[in-house]
Structure 1
Amino acid sequence: MQKREHFGGRAAVIMAMAGSAIGLGNIWRFPYMAGQYGGAAFILIYILCSFVLSLPIFLSEGLIGRRTHSNAIGAMKTLAPKSIWTALGYLSVITPTVIVSYYSIVGGWAVEYFVKSFSLSFGDFIPEGWTVLAYGTVFLGISCLIVALGVKSGIEKFSKFSIPLLFVLIVVILAYSLTMPGSEKGVEYLLKPDFSKLSGKTFAFALGQSFYSLSLGMGIIITYSSYISKDENLIVSGAGTAVADLLFAILAGFAIIPAVFSAGIEPSSGPGLIFQTLPFVFGRMGEAHAWIGVVISALFFLTVTVAAMTSSVSLIEVGVAYLIEEKHLKRGWACLIVFLSVWVLGLVSVFSGKAFGLIDAFSSNFLLTVGALLAVLFVGWKMKKEDVLEEITNGGKVNSRIAPALYFLIRYIAPIAVLTIFISNFIL
């Protein structure tokens, strides 16, 4: 049996967790939704949802992983052997494998556009075909190589390097974006509170964005938390992850939306914003001085690539941890098997845009929410209350005053929150 690795302290934990949280959704989805659903009012609701509703779900998954120090399937076999609850473990491994099969394709788009930035020759956006497969394979291969290096030498070191880099890059882009003529309209778009747009839909979307952005229901939190020391404060780790994720999303909004408004383009939702609209914006930047468009475009798509890769690394690690601990494979072989499995599964999405959309929708609307719901129900209703409180308080050493309130949120409020997301995915 291979010796199990652990993250080297709180900073490493938060960096790794933040790496899984910060991804493409922060760059295109959060700014668009903030502008469309109330600006600053939406952001306030998002913050509330993150810390009152999503954080208890984060803790539910986190304490499962840390209590057992095992992969997702091994964790459930330990906590609920030979019971239906082991389905949560299997779902927690299947879900990230499915997600990374198409997420790596989007990462490949980012790599391709980073390369194209140096000539500003983006052309028409073609989301499928052999070129997409080639770039997606490169992206997936690099992600798997990082995971193959191990928890401390691979994931932890990459996170400590990539997360600060992401913040530096996005701040540089933001600083330039705010100097563009007409950018103030984009700032207003994000910050002006429009309480007339607040509704049940706004709340559901803010909750859903918080849920997906924090990597809930994907098996990532269970897996990463299994590498956390028993002395680490889970609440601090979760709150630190939420703060880093929120801060990057806001910075990304102020980096992107003002530039879009400066070019006289209405912001749009989805990959079209970063792979169709923004290349046009970068071209406009380079009309007076070509090097400006090249530099800003290259920096932006480098940011997109790194953000996508930090998330893909965490998705890959879930399956790798399972193969190492349950099938007793060496880490290198486990990474190769995950790479080949994901690559083959991704072929469907590469050559069929319709299949891409269906797999994305199935993962987001069903797999994630079911996994998260099972996690909070298991922790809130199956596990012994004293065991849950022991994990939250590190055996009574920390968080003892707020632990009962958190347990109440996990047991009663979090399941309602997940069900709200699940239902809103189909009716809104």
Structure 2
Amino acid sequence: MAAVPAGQHAHWSSRFAFILAAVGSAVGLGNLWRFPFQTGENGGSAFVLIYIGCVVLFALPVLIAEIAIGRHAQQSAISSTRKMAQEAGKSANWAIVGWVCTAGGFLVLTTYSVIAGQVMAYAASGFAGGFAQPDGANLFYQGEFIQLAWHAGFMLITILIVARGLKGGIEQVATFLMPLFFVMLIGLTIYSLISGAAGEAITYLFTPDFTAVTGNTFVAALGQAFFSVSVASAIMITYGSYLSKDTNIGSSSILIASADTAVALIAGLMIFPIVFMVGIDPGAGMGLIFTALPAVFADMPAGNIIGGAFFALAFIAAITSSISLLEGTVAFVEEHSDFSRPTAAWLLGFFAFMIGAGAVWSSEFGGVFVDWLSGSFLLPLGGLLVAVFTGWVIPKALMRDELSHASNGLFAFFHFSVKFIVPPAIGFILLLGLDAKFNGGNIGSLLGLG
């Protein structure tokens, strides 16, 4: 197979472009959709504090590790882990780290696109006046063929952006959409705080009630931290490979993780004032976004516009994440085949669409099997392997050289974490996921997590 020469490897035009793209990847539906219902189901403000701790202790070190791997080898996730292992005198089989992360990220895309298609449909329904009608949110999302069409439309947009390359596609989209995203997010949050029950929302999010904490709160917080920051899915290894050697990985990673966490918290301030204003149960689960909020928008002044803008905001978050999920696989295929980037993007995008189509036709296949395989198995396994790889396999001196801009304190925290803290924590999450899938959650029940 033909490999792309190292000199042809693309690079970000600036550190600012990298930060925007990486933040765009991290800021996705996990912030606007998953974080609010996870908070509602797991004790409110106590969950928020534990979540922030998990981001700092677990997700941030893995984020630093992934960017460092990619920047060092300047190749796709699979090739980067293989090259770094060989340079360290270790087996090339450590490329399994890249394979697991890439497979996990690709499978996430397949079902992520289905959910994002529904987001697109709800945005269109809102702006078309659908929220003013009974079940109007589903105005453009009724029937499996229609749902399939929205899934196809979202995947088409993703493919077209990735096919244009790093600077002409991913970077341009990120530098345009992310500032727009933050303007819309702040605007909608201000509106929600003024119009809704701001005091109750702030109390709920920021006044800890540790009596509500159970073992499952820690499990959910750690899982949300990894899901939200976009680690263990080959994204940050791939994006790191486009970085120049003079970029400070440590400070960039802190900025990315901080921005992602801030968006999650602001999203809570955007959603929960409305939730408390109308008396919706904050623990309503996944239906909070696709069932409860559309019903609220229907009774609000200018609810169609506000609701349409909310789902348009979610669409921006989804597309900046989906292009990074597809890019990880496209980068490898382009690097190790004779396919051009557009051909690789169309081919892999079609495969992702077909798997997602299976999710539309069968919730058992998509919502249960594919979601479990990617979210509960491959992503935790990928995070575990990244930590073991950078903490135990790659010499400490090599990692210190790659993270030369980091302070001694930050590097000491990073290396101690990926070596001693992250592996057992993720291993525990992985064990619980396997236990829930194949053992009826018996271990979790014994530990008080059932």
Q: TM-score, structure 2 length as denominator?
A: 0.88
The worse-fitting range, judged by mean Cα deviation, of 203-212 and 233-242 is 203-212
Amino acid at match of 2:331: A
Residues 181 and 200 of structure 1, relative CA distance in 2, 3 Å threshold: closer
Distance in 2 (alpha carbons) for counterparts of 1:314 and 1:414 = 24
- Conserved? CA contact 1:31–1:190, under 8 Å: no
**1:210-236 alpha-carbon deviations (Å, 9 max, x no partner):** 111111111111111111111111111
Q: Which runs of 4+ in 1 moved over 4 A?
A: 124-128
Distance in 2 (alpha carbons) for counterparts of 1:343 and 1:38 = 36
Amino acid at match of 1:337: L
Does 1:331 find its partner at 2:341?
yes
Does 1:84 find its partner at 2:89?
no
**1:22-55 alpha-carbon deviations (Å, 9 max, x no partner):** 1112112222333444433332222222122211
2:13 to 8, 11, 14: 8
Distance in 2 (alpha carbons) for counterparts of 1:400 and 1:129 = 55
Following TM superposition, by how much is the alpha carbon of 1:269 offset from its aligned partner in structure 2, in angstroms?
A: 4.8
The worse-fitting range, judged by mean Cα deviation, of 1-10 and 407-416 is 1-10
- Conserved? CA contact 2:391–2:419, under 8 Å: yes
Q: What is the aligned partner in structure 1 of residue 38 from structure 2?
A: 33
Q: What is the aligned partner in structure 2 of residue 68 from structure 1?
A: 73
1:135 to 146, 150, 155: 150
1:50-129, aligned counterparts within 5 Å?
50-80=55-85, 83-118=92-127, 119-120=129-130, 121=133, 122-123=135-136, 129=144
- Conserved? CA contact 1:263–1:284, under 8 Å: no
The worse-fitting range, judged by mean Cα deviation, of 173-182 and 8-17 is 173-182
Q: What is the aligned partner in structure 2 of residue 267 from structure 1?
A: 282
**1:156-204 alpha-carbon deviations (Å, 9 max, x no partner):** 1211222221111121111221223545333332222212123433222
Secondary structure of the 2:107 match is helix
Distance in 1 (alpha carbons) for counterparts of 2:428 and 2:51 = 15
- For structure 2, the residue ranges without an aligned partner over 5 or more in a row are 437-443
2:425 to 401, 414, 417: 417
Residues 56 and 134 of structure 1, relative CA distance in 2, 3 Å threshold: same
Distance in 1 (alpha carbons) for counterparts of 2:205 and 2:159 = 36
Distance in 2 (alpha carbons) for counterparts of 1:32 and 1:339 = 29
Amino acid at match of 2:362: S
Distance in 2 (alpha carbons) for counterparts of 1:175 and 1:376 = 39
Distance in 2 (alpha carbons) for counterparts of 1:356 and 1:124 = 22
Following TM superposition, by how much is the alpha carbon of 1:401 offset from its aligned partner in structure 2, in angstroms?
A: 4.0
Q: What is the aligned partner in structure 1 of residue 355 from structure 2?
A: 345
Distance in 1 (alpha carbons) for counterparts of 2:17 and 2:284 = 33
Distance in 2 (alpha carbons) for counterparts of 1:74 and 1:128 = 42
Residues 128 and 50 of structure 1, relative CA distance in 2, 3 Å threshold: farther
- For structure 1, the residue ranges without an aligned partner over 5 or more in a row are 287-291
Following TM superposition, by how much is the alpha carbon of 1:11 offset from its aligned partner in structure 2, in angstroms?
A: 1.6
Residues 255 and 403 of structure 1, relative CA distance in 2, 3 Å threshold: same
Amino acid at match of 1:154: G
Distance in 2 (alpha carbons) for counterparts of 1:168 and 1:124 = 24
1:135-284, aligned counterparts within 5 Å?
135-180=150-195, 182-284=197-299
Residues 325 and 298 of structure 1, relative CA distance in 2, 3 Å threshold: same
- Conserved? CA contact 1:143–1:309, under 8 Å: yes
Does 1:375 find its partner at 2:378?
no
Residues 38 and 268 of structure 1, relative CA distance in 2, 3 Å threshold: closer
Residues 202 and 142 of structure 1, relative CA distance in 2, 3 Å threshold: same
Q: What is the aligned partner in structure 2 of residue 354 from structure 1?
A: 364
Does 1:297 find its partner at 2:319?
no
Secondary structure of the 1:143 match is helix
Amino acid at match of 2:108: I
The worse-fitting range, judged by mean Cα deviation, of 26-35 and 7-16 is 26-35
Q: What is the aligned partner in structure 2 of residue 406 from structure 1?
A: 414
Distance in 1 (alpha carbons) for counterparts of 2:266 and 2:13 = 28
- Conserved? CA contact 2:249–2:406, under 8 Å: no
**1:62-81 alpha-carbon deviations (Å, 9 max, x no partner):** 21111100001211231235
Q: TM-score, structure 1 length as denominator?
A: 0.93
1:392 to 400, 403, 409: 403
Does 1:21 find its partner at 2:26?
yes
Distance in 2 (alpha carbons) for counterparts of 1:179 and 1:140 = 36
Q: CA RMSD in A?
A: 1.9
- Conserved? CA contact 2:70–2:238, under 8 Å: yes
Task: Give me the identity figure in percent.
Answer: 36
Residues 246 and 398 of structure 1, relative CA distance in 2, 3 Å threshold: closer
Distance in 1 (alpha carbons) for counterparts of 2:317 and 2:171 = 15
Residues 405 and 279 of structure 1, relative CA distance in 2, 3 Å threshold: closer
Amino acid at match of 1:326: H
Residues 127 and 64 of structure 1, relative CA distance in 2, 3 Å threshold: farther
Residues 325 and 233 of structure 1, relative CA distance in 2, 3 Å threshold: same
Secondary structure of the 2:13 match is coil
Distance in 1 (alpha carbons) for counterparts of 2:306 and 2:41 = 26
**1:269-290 alpha-carbon deviations (Å, 9 max, x no partner):** 544211111110100104xxxx
Q: What is the aligned partner in structure 1 of residue 440 from structure 2?
A: none
Following TM superposition, by how much is the alpha carbon of 1:136 offset from its aligned partner in structure 2, in angstroms?
A: 0.9
The worse-fitting range, judged by mean Cα deviation, of 120-129 and 214-223 is 120-129
Secondary structure of the 2:403 match is helix
Secondary structure of the 1:85 match is helix
Amino acid at match of 2:74: H
Secondary structure of the 1:327 match is coil
Distance in 2 (alpha carbons) for counterparts of 1:93 and 1:42 = 29
Q: What is the aligned partner in structure 1 of residue 320 from structure 2?
A: 310
